[in-house]
Amino acid sequence: MLKNIPSIISPELLKILMEMGHGDEIVIGDGNFPAESIGACSNAVVVRADGHSVPALLDAVLTLMPLDQYVERPVALMSVPAGDDTVPEIWNEYRAILKKHSPDNCEIEMTERFAFYERAKKAYCIVATGETAIYANILLKKGVV
């Protein structure tokens, strides 16, 4: 055990967060996100966090990792496709968490589903969660301390 490390952060995820450099990206995917298949066709490391929610992991990750302050939008969400009337209420939780940790640098980019998948293939890490909300995938670009 270590002091001040959120208990939801596994040793594997802590190591990865330490390895990531400025501009590297991490995806925290919901339970429907194809983490393993995207990880298999890319260099992204897949970390399993089954049973955990995306908001809890987002809060824990942002306790340790700064967002990139040199880009306009250091956060990306998977947008809801045209014709789908889903309203992802979880996004409001994300906005509150982002504002808590990075109040001056928490702009969000909305990314089409397949473009999000392509971007995820270039991510350093994909965290696969047990989140049941749909359109709950979030991508973070690491900043500097």
Q: Both tokens of residue 54?
A: 């995306």
- Cβ-based burial of 4 (10 A; exposed 0-12, middle 13-18, buried ≥19): exposed
Mark residue 28 as left, alpha or beta (left: phi above 0; alpha: psi -120 to 50; beta: remaining): beta
Question: pLDDT at residue 9 above 90?
Answer: yes
Specify the 3-state DSSP secondary structure of 141: strand
In this prediction, residue 1 has a pLDDT band, given cuts at 50, 70 and 90, of confident
pLDDT digits (tens, 9 = 90+) for 86-107: 999 999 999 999 999 999 999 9
Q: Averaged over 117-137, what is the pLDDT?
A: 97
CATH fold of 22-81+91-132, please? RbsD-like fold (3.40.1650)
Q: Averaged over 119-139, what is the pLDDT?
A: 98
Question: Cα–Cα distance between 13 and 108 in angstroms, integer?
Answer: 23
Question: pLDDT at residue 31 above 90?
Answer: yes
Mean pLDDT, the chain, whole residue set: 97
Question: Cα–Cα distance between 7 and 112 in angstroms, integer?
Answer: 33
- The set of catalytic residues is 22, 68, 117
Provide the whole-model pTM.
0.96
Crossing angle of the two packed helices 11-19 and 54-64, in degrees rounded to 10? 50
What pLDDT sits at residue 2? 86
Sketch the domain layout of the chain as residue ranges: 22-81+91-132
What pLDDT sits at residue 67? 98
Question: Cα–Cα distance between 67 and 87 in angstroms, integer?
Answer: 26
